[in-house]
Amino acid sequence: MVTSSGKKQSSDNLNKFKPIIFFILHLNSSIQQISASSFLIINDLANLDRPYFDDISPRNISAVVDETAILRCRVKNKGNRTVSWMRKRDLHILTTNIYTYTGDQRFSVLHPPNSDDWDLKIDYAQARDSGIYECQVNTEPKINLAITLEITAENDMRDRNSEKLYYNSKAARAKILGSTEIHVKRDSTIALACSVNIHASSVLWYHGSAIVDFDSLRGGISLETEKTDAGTTSRLMLTRASLRDSGNYTCVPNAAVPASVRVHVLTGEQPAAMQTSVASVINASTVIIITYLIISEDLLFKISNLAQYILLHRSSR
């Protein structure tokens, strides 16, 4: 039988250990909050390495029948993810990474080694190729970039910046001299050239959808136009290349079919160094947080055991 004095002693013992119990509960709650916020921080840091599209190319592309159409897709932080091209009309997967999954051999992927570019190339484009194409990355959730392609007849009238150009013959056509994919180092000189097989009254150069401005604050831009017996040659030079100079350049002669070249300005080892730095920060943060949690849980376990020991010791007296 428990006497009144025993009840009073038990009540007194319980009151003595209430602060310890409250401390343990408060410490446990704090650890849970720290743990939750720490994992949110880790997730935020991990999102820095998620793939994303470097969307610097136009979403609407035009090409001429029987010529090559190129749809641009640049994916940053690809990692071990897969880049695919899908035709929206029939949901047909055309390519995955560098592999083609269609019987139509006109389709292929342009992917320079160690680059972020995964461009879809369509040789001998036909009117039936017009439509929407999607560049996809198999993240969770999946991300995609939609591009609309329009293939028109060679003698169609087109409108570029409100200036009407008539493409009307195989005798009026520009051609890029050299490769249509150029890689240059930062701070070097970009040299582009195109030839036209007629005496064009003028030749304009576009960077993306904007005319190259020779009077811009950038400076270092020059254009040389030469007329020969065979036609016209235009040479564009940009000194001190920067990342902003990357992109599509189009040679547009008056009354002739234009031609385009893709320029990639390389930054050397900087991207890899940046990725290593971010990975180091994430790894270091993870180690610190896990170590803190282990120490905190061990401390909580020891305090709990100590409280139980004191209670048992007091009760046995």
Q: What is the pLDDT of residues 171-209, one digit of tens each?
A: 578 899 988 888 999 999 999 999 998 888 788 899 887
- Any bridge partners for residue 131, and if so which? 149
- Any bridge partners for residue 232, and if so which? 196, 227
Can you list the domains of the chain with their CATH numbers? 52-152 (2.60.40.10), 174-266 (2.60.40.10)
Q: Which residues touch 277 (CB under 8 Å, ≥6 apart)? A: none
C-alpha span between 60 and 149 (Å, rounded): 6
DSSP category for residue 255: T
Please state, rounded to an integer, the average pLDDT across all residues of the chain: 75
Neighbours of 182 (CB within 10 A): 16
Q: Percentage of the chain with pLDDT > 70?
A: 62
C-alpha span between 208 and 217 (Å, rounded): 18
pLDDT for residue 305 is more than 90: no
Supply 1's token pair: 């039988």
**Would the pTM count as exceeding 0.85?**
no
Residue 317's pLDDT is 56
Neighbours of 175 (CB within 10 A): 15
What is the rounded radius of gyration, in angstroms, for the C-alpha atoms of the chain? Answer: 33
Return the minimum-mean-pLDDT range out of 53-62, 93-102, 210-219, 288-297: 288-297
pLDDT for residue 163 is more than 50: no
Residue 211's pLDDT is 85
Confidence of residue 316 (pLDDT cuts 50, 70, 90): low
| 3-state secondary structure labels for all residues of 188-250 | CCEEEEEEECCCCCCEEEEECCEECCCCCCCCCEEEEEEECCCCEEEEEEECCCCHHHCEEEE
Supply 311's token pair: 């209670």
Residue 308's pLDDT is 65
